[in-house]
Amino acid sequence: MNKSAKQVDWDLQTHYDKKVKPQTKKYPWILRITEHKDKPSPVFIVKERVFPETNGNREGAIQSHLEERGMLYGGALRRVLPIIRDIIGKVRDDLGIPFELAKFVKNNPIEFRGNLPLDDTAGYKLAVIFILQSLIQELDRVEIIARRVNRFTREEAAYWYSRMTNFGEDANRWAIIGMRIMLGGQPSDPAVEKMLEQLRGSL
């Protein structure tokens, strides 16, 4: 017998309350799904857990706070949502059991509002995607960037994230500009569509 939509939603809420929500207080990254009055809903915000009293070292830290690292919404969010589902769907608990986070962003429209725990791999990848897509008007370029970043290892995502955030305002800006071109090509470049089809076909 099939469950009703109401029962499925209830089961998902129970799963969130018992297994997912408690981990949002300790995982290194958070994906916040929320609303902003001046932006189309939902708004995805990726946040990093920071331990200022230990200069960023998580070991031995007692207190921490979350700092926003990037935001995604509107057409860009709709375009790369399947890629986001893939990234967060791989996040697991301490026992290696998947949190099944993709279920929270499966519906259209997305009804879930709250925080989802992310490991470093997912956190770095989403931060890189969210930072790079900002100001890009062509959604094909946004999708190319997201697909390529999704193929990064944890170490690659962490490296490029650091290059865009840890070297001062000017150096960070140059890194972002360079990464946008390296991963997503130039605006109005006819090769963008061809490259995107290749990436889609290689999955």
| Residue pLDDT, tens place only, 64-108 | 899 999 999 999 999 999 999 999 999 999 999 999 999 999 878
At residue 1, does pLDDT exceed 70? Answer: no
Q: Which residues pair with 66 in a beta bridge?
A: 49
Q: What is this structure's pTM?
A: 0.89
Condensed to tens digits (0 to 9), the pLDDT of residues 26-42 reads 999 999 999 999 999 99
At residue 10, does pLDDT exceed 70? Answer: no
Alpha helices in the chain (DSSP H): 5-15, 74-88, 120-133, 139-150, 154-165, 169-184, 191-201
- pLDDT at residue 56 in the model: 52
**Stretch among 1-5, 110-114, 165-169, 182-186 having the lowest mean pLDDT:** 1-5
How many Å apart are CA 12 and CA 100, to the nearest integer?
Answer: 10
Are 93 and 15 in contact by the 8 Å Cβ rule? The answer is no
- pLDDT at residue 54 in the model: 54
- pLDDT at residue 53 in the model: 62
How many Å apart are CA 122 and CA 125, to the nearest integer?
Answer: 5
- pLDDT at residue 5 in the model: 47
Phi, psi angles (nearest 5°) of residue 117: -75, 140
